[in-house]
């Protein structure tokens, strides 16, 4: 991600932000998260493994920090010009210390804590979320676990205590939602078409309920 730093006199700098992960313990991370159930934990683990990779996985080794920095500078030089190493000035260091003091507190760290028991989604990477949501309808409880990947549904699993006829079509509905835009209208249209095509009946549950449980 590239962000432009703007001052009253105009743009003064561009900031390039990114991450290099040398190694990552997928099992430990999925175990540390406080999630609703083990199926959700398994989906988080699977989605992390598919969307987050490391130098160790890709190359079989972990590069030294100095070597990584040198290679990064070499790769960016054709785009950004000659890279000149500079030391952090006192003003920037002081500001960093001030921000650390502000952010390294329970109040700041837990303000949007994904480990809360009522968490409805876990962010895996930019644009990739594992979600689990529930909705009580007149026909019963709907529970949906899925992956929102770049605004598209993936790996959808539907369960609950509602009636769905023919019952074996529920798996087909999950497949039909694969790749559908993560928008209420698109999800509703897909499910309406599926109901009509397969003559599905779900007393007390309408197609829009599935869209609501996924996107609200």
d(C-alpha 99, C-alpha 109), whole Å: 12
Check: CB of residue 158 under 8 Å from CB of residue 146.
Answer: no
Q: What's the rounded mean pLDDT across residues 55-65?
A: 92
Residue 118, pLDDT above cutoff 50: no
d(C-alpha 26, C-alpha 89), whole Å: 37
Burial (CB count within 10 angstroms: exposed 0-12, middle 13-18, buried 19+), residue 211: buried
pLDDT at 84: 78
pLDDT digits (tens, 9 = 90+) for 165-216: 999 999 999 999 999 999 989 999 999 999 999 999 999 999 989 888 887 6
pLDDT at 119: 54
φ and ψ of 90, to 5 deg = -60, -35
Q: What is the pTM of this model?
A: 0.66
Q: DSSP E strands: which ranges in 21-151? A: 121-125, 128-137, 140-149
pLDDT digits (tens, 9 = 90+) for 7-28: 556 656 667 777 889 999 999 9
pLDDT at 166: 92
- The pLDDT-based confidence of 38 (bands split at 50, 70, 90) is confident
d(C-alpha 51, C-alpha 132), whole Å: 18
pLDDT digits (tens, 9 = 90+) for 89-105: 888 889 999 999 988 88
pLDDT at 213: 87
φ and ψ of 108, to 5 deg = -80, -45
pLDDT digits (tens, 9 = 90+) for 140-164: 999 999 999 999 999 999 998 999 9
φ and ψ of 72, to 5 deg = -65, -45
pLDDT at 214: 82
Of 27, 17, 29, 20, which is closest to residue 59 (Cα–Cα)? 20
d(C-alpha 7, C-alpha 30), whole Å: 42
What CATH code is assigned to 121-215? Answer: 3.30.390.50
pLDDT digits (tens, 9 = 90+) for 66-95: 888 888 888 888 887 887 777 888 888 899
Range list for CATH 3.30.390.50 in the chain: 121-215
What's the full length of the chain, in residues? 216
pLDDT at 8: 58
185: number of Cβ within 10 Å: 11
Residue 57, pLDDT above cutoff 80: yes
pLDDT at 53: 92
Residue 117, pLDDT above cutoff 50: no
């Amino acid at each position: 991600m590239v962000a432009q730093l703007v001052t009253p006199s105009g743009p003064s700098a561009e900031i390039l932000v990114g991450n290099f992960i040398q190694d990552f313990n997928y099992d430990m991370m999925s175990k540390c998260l406080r999630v609703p159930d083990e199926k959700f934990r398994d989906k988080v683990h699977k989605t992390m493994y598919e969307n987050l990779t490391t130098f160790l996985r890709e190359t079989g080794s972990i590069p030294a920090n100095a070597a990584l920095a040198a290679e990064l500078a070499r790769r960016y030089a054709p785009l950004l010009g000659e890279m000149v190493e500079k030391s952090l000035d006192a003003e920037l260091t002081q500001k960093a210390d001030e921000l650390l003091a502000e952010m390294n507190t329970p109040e700041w760290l837990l303000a949007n804590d994904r480990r809360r028991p009522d968490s409805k989604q876990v962010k895996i990477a930019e644009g990739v979320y594992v979600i689990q949501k529930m909705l009580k309808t007149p026909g019963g409880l709907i529970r949906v676990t899925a992956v929102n990947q770049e605004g598209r549904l993936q790996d959808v699993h539907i369960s609950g205590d509602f009636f769905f006829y023919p019952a074996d079509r529920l798996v087909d509905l999950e497949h039909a939602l694969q790749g559908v835009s993560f928008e209420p209208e698109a999800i509703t249209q897909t499910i309406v078409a599926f109901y009509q095509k397969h003559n599905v009946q779900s007393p007390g549950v309408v197609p829009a309920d599935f869209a609501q449980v996924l996107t609200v």
